[in-house]
Structure 1
Amino acid sequence: MAAYFTPSRIHPTAEQTDLQTATQPVVLGEANAGAAKTTTLALRIAESLARNVEPARILALAFTPEARDVLRQRLLDIGVPWETVNGLDILTIEDLAMRTLGQVEGEPLRLTQQPRKLKTHVCDAIDAVADRYVGRYDALDLRKSDIAVSGFLDTLLRLKARMALHGEYDDDPVEAAEVAGVPLTDYLVAQSYETARLDGEERALFRTAFDPTYDLARWLQREPGCADTFPRYRVIVCDELHDMNEASFVIVEALVRSTGAFFTGVGDKHQVIHDQLGASHDYLGFRFRHAFPALKTYPLTTTYRHGPHLTLAITQLMGNNGTSGAPDHTEIRQLHYDEASDCAAQVVEAIRQWKKDKHKLEDCAVLMRDRHQSVALENALIEAGIAYRTPVMKGYMQREEILFLRGVLAICLNDLKAVPSYEVRTAVVEALAVFAGMETAANFEKVKHDIAKEPSLLTGFFQGHLGGNALADAATAFADVMRYLLQVPADSPAGDVLSEVCTRMDLAAVAKRVYVNPYAASVVARSVDGFVAMARSSGLDLAAFWKKINAAEVFASRKREKDFIHLDCVADVKGKEFGHVIMPYLEVNEFPNSLMPAKTERNLFYVGVSRTVARLTLISPTQPERRSSFLRQMQIATVAPKADQALRQLEDKVEQERTYRTYLTARYEDREEVRALGANFDTVRKKWYIESGQDQAPFRRWLP
């Protein structure tokens, strides 16, 4: 079918045009990374506008504020006027839930985001579980540390996203927790927390992030007729369907059924990496097809983010049929290291080369598999004077396990005041208490802030003078560590002292107790190992090393507007793109991680390599047998000749297809005259235009 809307600045592929003009009530687009999913949705919206659908009756959904804003920008990019874009409903699913619940409840929703308030609610739920279940179930782990509360809130989010808090096993918490795949303690606390939050299902007393989505989904499940609250949309589109979970699916399905709107959703089954939050390819496949049997699926295989060399390597990795529409040579560089300690130096060299090639540092990203890898990377960047940002994850010096080791140094040197930030000093005290098993000491919350205000109190508290009674027991590991620390000279080698502390504490075992989740505990243990190795390789004594890391924190925490690189984990950059992506530590048991599902690991690697536009640098061990299996699966050298040929064909095609429109300044009263002269009318931009090659002389007075 011929399209009513023709975009500016781009030439849609046949695949995009097919989806843009599809007439089926429910349409899905299965895409590859960089295949212009969002632009294709923008074309779908623009086509609806061109067919006289009112902007107010079009809803565009995304899963994150960033994706929502990108969709708005893509509409502007293809030529939809700002005033028209402003009339569309472009929302995250959370936005939609907040607005809908606000209308029903008669007042705007306000979210509780402050960690202290959330911790209070969690602690109340823990107390309720203790009162009801202690003695009934063995081995309940009812800790209240910041780490434990944070871990519980993560588990609660997973349960809500998968709508797993209520089901057929409600009368048997043990069975329900097992089916949900969470510890019994977390399941019981979640039930108690939600009962209090929802006041026995009557109304929400408070909400935090994702609660509006969950509450709306629960309401729709209990009372399907409440879907009549939604506006009468005619067209609904949804981006990034690979991030869909059960709660969001309940909402989207109810939306489509209740409004009878035409629905279009796009996603990439290979970008499903949030399976812990209930994301699944099932929604792109089985779930939508089961709900809407007449739906039609359209492929989006052509990527515009990177050229044929990377595209063909990715098709080998993922077994898909992707092609590139970008007439650019995306470089794939491979660097190698003999020892893991040398990998960070290779990263620094790759960044320097990017800058030497006259590119902006802000266009460069170092993407890691796990956060423990950043210890060596951050130190190498600081040593090289390369500024960096960690947009999502914390820098390594603000992580609990490293804060504990910094606390050890502060006790040893009696110098917590050297940490300039009050918030960081508070976090140091918290980490010491958690890893020492003392977080439940009497009045700890107050004492923690007292110590942050007056750092000289630190050593006294952990000696037992201010409530740390656990230290009076000579058999505790931390009491042994305290005795050791208080007699160590300040000129002792920092690496040796930290290593001794880790051995005496058995920090790997402590991490398992504190973090419960085996994968999280393994990352923490590796992070500790990296910090100790860094201290040892520095050759510095305790005093000099303490000075060095506090100065490094000051460097790392400076806010910069330019001349910085991005440093983050792959899982946190989905949906973004960079000119240069550097992926370090591509070795066995690092990437892929043996503790995680193989399919998730491959999808995660795919997300990482597909973020780049111009250059991809892959850094792996010198020994082939130690390298990540993903590198072999990409077959980079094998596909290069075919990629060279594809690139030449694309370059030739671009030259042949250079056709542009020239928009005219004709007014409404000129319409009959310009039409008679052969001009065409763009129904979305509401402007007349002529095609490239058309004689411009008759239109001279309307030329811009």
Structure 2
Amino acid sequence: MRGGGGRGGACGAGWTCYHGALDLFLLDRTTHGRVLHPQPHPPDGRADRPADGHPARGAGEANAGAAKTTTLALRIAESLARNVEPARILALAFTPEARDVLRQRLLDIGVPWDTVNQLDILTIEDLAMRTLAQLEGEALRLTLQPRRLKTHVWRAVDAVAAQYAGRPGSRFAELDLRKSETAVSGYLDTLLRLKARMVLQGEDDDDPVEAAEVAQAPLTDYLVALAYETARLDGEDRAVFRTAFDPTYDLARWLRREPGCAQAFPRYRVVVCDELHDMNEASFVIVEALIRATGAFFTGVGDKHQVIHDQLGASHDYLDFRFRHAFPALRAYPLTTTYRHGPHLTLAIDALMDNRGSSGVPDHTEIRQLHYDTAEDCAQQVVAAIKEWKKDKRRLEQCAVLMRDRHQSIALENALIEAGIAYRVPVMKGYLQREEILFLRGVLAICLGDLRAVPSYEVRTAIVEALAAFAGLEAAAGFEKVKHDIAKEPSLLRGFFQGHLGGDALADAETAFADVMRYLEQVPQDSPAGEVLAEVCRRMDVAAVAKRVYVNPYAASVAARSIDGFVAMAGKSGLGLAAFWKKINAAEVFASRKREKDFIHLDCVADVKGQEFGHVIMPYLEVNEFPNPLMPARTERNLFYVGVSRTRQRLTLISPADTERRSVFLRQMQIAAVAPKADQALRQLENKVTEERAFRLYLSARYEEREEVRQLGAQFDTVRKQWYIESGQDTAPFQRWL
């Protein structure tokens, strides 16, 4: 990674950059740990250039907690201090979550809010959509739900059958052109991988068999993908429709075909890119073209152990090779020291990942292991761990429960609600607002004739949508208008679904959902909720319906497990339909309250990359849960690494009491075996800190006083998260904080 001309300390323009974690390339330390200040920078905002005259560029690989995102924030702050206009700085990430974390880091290091809002902080997809809109002259519209793509896939299958049926030669004789839900999912998965890797050839390709072999894809899937894309692009530059990732692919394809269109990029002078381990070929084409077209100073960071998006062609090869090959002047700097957690967790992570790193944190990061017998027992263990954290006088907002999959949240959310512990689900929806559970809530609303009990108009609309999706009625004429009419007047719900079930009357309809409707008409309202929902699921065959609705087998399996968990919860509650309906609506009100403090975070591991917490709790660490058998083993290990490396002070791992059921990752961490070495490393760090403290006086300044103490000349220790002044510095201005 290119660190710029500065060496740390005050970056000018009123900002102080806090970088105790960036020893390797942003600051020098004397024997007393003092931060040296940078040499004067050019006043005209020019990016510094090496001897070859090209803009300085760099990429680096780092371990978790090595301040990758903070490094990029500092690079931006340095550029601002060197008079680069905010509008000429671009910060890129690969996910909305990583984008938001980068924005927050800029605020954390002291860049003013108004200035941050003038920067372009985008995902690659954001950049692609903006650029395509400029090139095409109109805003882009996306079709995001995979099930809405099935019709296009079926048409592609028909096109392949028509084109290759009867063609001589055995190469096409065994094409497996199916239209099942599983087949559609396979076609879409292959299509996504081909586009991410940019290996889908044009429709005029002379030998599709050879092209499929080069692309390492089954011939049937390759031909369907080719037909699908031919129809989507309709022989023109503009797409007929787009779904997620298509903007990135379409822009990359355009840049390869017409490199001159890179002139549509704004004239950026500085470009930074986070999470380079998420990069695939399509995004690399865009970033490379952007750098070459603008001549921008580039800085990127990544961690090869955080590659979890293999299905999108993500690979650490871009860190290891591609950037270096594209830009020979690139300089790379490893960041192996973590400043997030202490040696005990660092060495356990090293054992897990077969890695070599070190900790710069002179604290004992606790690793606690708890065990459970049932899912509900695990949820209670989570509640106990949260209460223990609060008892230790720690802030709840610094506590995060990180799951492998969203279906696990049902027992967890119920336990949190019963314990009166508020929680936020920043990315993942709470279980009561997920489509598969909204469907079951819709069933209850029809049975009880009480959709009005759902207070939120938006949730009522979502319930109607979910019912239509599971009943196969999304394409019904005028459905969009009817959906909103029902949300406004809930009494219309039963009549609509009785009148649109494939027959002249409810009695004539032969669909599974019609059978469910007939069943619900006869169910007494005091019937046990668990029994009614279980019967609905049996009659609907919800596992099969989930495959139709969610297309992707993995997503369908998660949805089916969510449904099973919800039905089991209803059964264990022992409540009748009306009482259970009242309970879940009250639970939704509790969960949806907006809180500024005293809440914990509940999320999936995949959605928290780049974030950190004081206490991370990881439940359900068992066989067939984490690692998930449907996913590649290496991806699962990387995902587990992301989860355990998010914490600073405490990590709580909750696994089955039966040792045979425990996740293999717990054994691979070798927690007990590395403890003696970690103890020794901790003592060495503590001795080092003791020596440093002889040259520092730490202050008790609070966060809201940061501007005042900084203006007086204090500096910030990012490891201790505390302000200090150096020995010999005038203490008079700081008396009230000493």
**Would you call these one fold, judging by a TM-score over 0.5?**
yes
Deviation at 1:281, TM superposition (A): 1.4
1:339 to 370, 374, 398: 374
* Inter-CA distance 29–564: structure 2 relative to 1 (3 Å threshold): same
Q: Which residue of 1 aligns with 2:92?
A: 61
Deviations 1:614-668 (A, max 9, x none): 1111111111111111111111122222222222221221232355799xxxxxx
- Residue 25 of structure 2 corresponds to 16
On the 8 A contact 2:196/2:281 being kept in 1, the answer is yes
CA distance in 2, matches of 1:609, 1:401: 29
Q: 1:426: Cα distance to partner?
A: 3.1
| Pairwise CA distance, 1:516 | 2.6
The structure-2 alpha-carbon separation of the partners of 1:384 and 1:492, relative to structure 1 and needing over 3 Å to count, comes to same
Structure 1 pair 484–264 and aligned structure 2 pair: CA distance change class (3 A): same
How far does the alpha carbon of each residue in 1:389-414 deviate from its partner, in whole angstroms, 9 at most, with x for none? 11111211122221222222223323
Contact kept? 1:110, 1:207, Cα under 8 Å: no
Q: Post-superposition shift, 1:276?
A: 2.0
CA contact 2:146–2:551 (8 Å) conserved in 1 = no
1:506-564 superposed Cα distances (whole Å, 9 cap, x missing partner): 22222223323221121111111101110111011222112211221222222222222
The whole-number CA distance in structure 1 between the counterparts of 2:116 and 2:486 is 53
Matching residue of 1:39: 70
Q: How does 1:180-219 map to 2 (within 5 A)?
A: 187=225, 191=229, 194-195=232-233, 200-203=235-238, 213-219=248-254
* Structure-1 residue corresponding to 2:629: 594
> Distance between the aligned counterparts of 2:135 and 2:468, measured in 1?
45
Residue 709 of structure 2 corresponds to none
Match of 2:174 in 1: none
Structure 1 residue 171: Cα displacement: 8.2
One-letter amino acid of the structure 2 residue matched with residue 563 of structure 1: D
- Tell whether the 8 Å contact from 2:160 to 2:224 is kept in structure 1 after alignment: no
Q: CA deviation at 1:484?
A: 2.6
TM-score by length of 1: 0.80
1:449 positional shift: 3.8
Query: Any gaps of 5 or more consecutive residues in structure 2?
Result: 10-16, 29-37, 39-47, 166-176, 699-712, 714-724, 732-738
Structure-2 residue corresponding to 1:611: 646
Whether 2:463 is the aligned partner of 1:428: answer yes
Deviation at 1:100?
5.2
Cα offset for 1:415? 2.6
Q: What's the CA shift for 1:361?
A: 1.6
Query: Within 1, Cα distance between the matches of 2:461 and 2:116?
Result: 46
1:372 is displaced (CA, Å) by: 0.6
1: CA distance, partners of 2:452 / 2:520: 18
* Shift, 1:336, TM fit: 0.8
SS in 1 for 2:25: helix
Instruction: Give 1:432's aligned amino acid.
Output: L
Mapped partners of 2:219, 2:306: distance in 1: 23
| Partner deviation per Cα, 1:324-372 (whole Å, 9 max, x = no partner) | 1112222111111112221111111111112222122221111111111
Please tell me whether residue 303 in structure 1 is matched to residue 338 in structure 2: yes
**Separation in structure 2 between the aligned mates of residue 168 and residue 204 of structure 1, nearest angstrom:** 15
- Greater shift in the superposed pair: 603-612 or 280-289: 280-289
SS of the aligned residue for 2:575 comes to coil
Find the aligned partners of 2:308 and 2:290 in 1 and give their Cα distance: 26
Distance 1:487 1:578 in 2: 51
Q: Kindly state the Cα deviation for residue 440 of structure 1 after the two structures are TM-superposed.
A: 4.0
CA distance in 1, matches of 2:418, 2:516: 31
How big is each residue's C-alpha offset from its partner over 1:188-219, in whole Å with a ceiling of 9 and x where there is no partner?
795367426xxx53457888876654443222
Aligned to 2:518: 483
CA distance in 1, matches of 2:668, 2:332: 28
CA contact (8 A) 1:140 1:185 kept: no
2:401 is paired with a residue whose SS is strand
SS at match of 1:492: coil
Listed as ranges, the gaps of 5+ residues in structure 1 are 663-678, 680-690, 698-704
Equivalent residue for 1:5?
Answer: 7
Instruction: Work out whether residues 697 and 727 of structure 2, in 8 Å CA contact, stay in contact via their aligned partners in 1.
Output: no
Specify the alignment match of 1:29 in structure 2.
60
CA distance in 2: counterparts of 1:210 and 1:26, whole angstroms = 27
Query: Does residue 259 of structure 2 align to residue 224 of structure 1?
Result: yes
Q: Do residues 544 (structure 1) and 553 (structure 2) align?
A: no
Matched, 1:522 2:595: no
For 1:506, which of 525, 541, 549 is the aligned residue? 541
Are the counterparts in 2 of residues 481 and 504 from structure 1 also a CA contact under 8 Å?
Answer: yes
CA distance in 1, matches of 2:396, 2:96: 25
Aligned to 2:33: none
Q: 1:506 to 1:171 in 2, by over 3 A?
A: farther
Does the 8 Å CA contact 1:38/1:74 hold for their aligned counterparts?
yes
Amino acid at match of 2:656: P
What is the rounded CA distance, in whole Å, between the counterparts of 2:505 and 2:373 in structure 1?
45
Question: Residues 82-116 of structure 1: CA distance to partner in whole angstroms, max 9, x if unpaired?
Answer: 999899776554565566557667x7x7454798x
**Residue 394 in structure 1 maps to residue 426 in structure 2:** no
**Counterpart in 2 of 1:283?**
318
Q: Take 1:619 and 1:501, find their aligned partners in 2: how far apart are those partners?
A: 33
The whole-number CA distance in structure 2 between the counterparts of 1:385 and 1:40 is 39
Secondary structure of 1:297's aligned partner:
coil
Cα distance in 2 between the residues matched to 1:394 and 1:254: 36
Q: Structure 1 stretch 360-369 or stretch 125-134: which is displaced more?
A: 125-134
- Tell me the equivalent position of 1:349: 384
Name the CA shift for 1:248/1:487 in 2 (closer, same or farther; >3 Å): same
TM-aligned CA deviation for residue 475 of structure 1: 5.3
CA contact (8 A) 1:493 1:542 kept: yes
- Indicate the RMSD between aligned Cα atoms, in angstroms: 4.5
What is the rounded CA distance, in whole Å, between the counterparts of 1:561 and 1:180 in structure 2?
51
Residue correspondence of structure 1 range 68-467 to structure 2 within 5 A: 71=102, 92-94=123-125, 96-97=127-128, 110-112=139-141, 139-140=178-179, 161-163=196-198, 166-167=201-202, 179=217, 187=225, 191=229, 194-195=232-233, 200-203=235-238, 213-228=248-263, 236-258=271-293, 263-292=298-327, 295-464=330-499
Which has the larger displacement, 332-341 or 408-417? 408-417
Indicate if the aligned counterparts of 1:195 and 1:201 stay in contact, CA closer than 8 A: yes
Aligned residue identity for 1:340: A
State the distance in 2 between where 1:247 and 1:164 align.
10
Q: Give the letter for the 1:353 counterpart.
A: E
Give the AA of the match of 1:16: F
Tell me if structure 2 keeps the 8 A contact 1:272–1:280.
Answer: yes
**Greater Cα offset, 521-530 or 227-236:** 227-236
User: What secondary structure is seen at the aligned counterpart in 2 of 1:486?
Assistant: helix
Question: Which 10-residue stretch deviates more, 313-322 or 25-34?
Answer: 25-34
Question: What residue identity is the alignment partner of 1:557?
Answer: S
Higher mean C-alpha displacement, 119-128 vs 310-319: 119-128
CA contact under 8 A between 1:121 and 1:193: conserved in structure 2? no
**Equivalents in 2 of 1:244, 1:440: separation in Å?**
36
- Cα deviation 1:467-498 (Å, max 9, x = unaligned): 65595557543333333322222222221222
Relative to structure 1, the CA distance from residue 123 to residue 589 in structure 2 (aligned partners, 3 Å threshold; closer, same or farther) is closer
Distance 1:112 1:591, change over 3 A: same
Deviates more, 1:5-14 or 1:179-188: 179-188
Q: Secondary structure at the match of 1:264?
A: strand
The residue identity in structure 1 corresponding to 2:68 is K
Secondary structure at the aligned position of 1:299 is classed as: coil
- Contact (CA 8 Å) 2:502, 2:509: kept in 1 or not? no
Aligned counterpart, 1:585: 620
Q: Paired residue for 2:705?
A: none
Q: TM-score, normalised by structure 2?
A: 0.76
Q: Distance in 2 between matches of 1:102 and 1:477?
A: 44
Partners in 2 of 1:46 and 1:61 — Cα distance? 15
Residues 468 and 461 of structure 1, relative CA distance in 2, 3 Å threshold: farther
**Shift of residue 122 of structure 1?**
6.5
The one-letter amino acid of 2:8's match is T
Residue 637 and residue 231 in structure 1: after superposition, are their counterparts in 2 closer, same or farther (change >3 A)? Answer: same
- Give the corresponding residue for 2:736: none
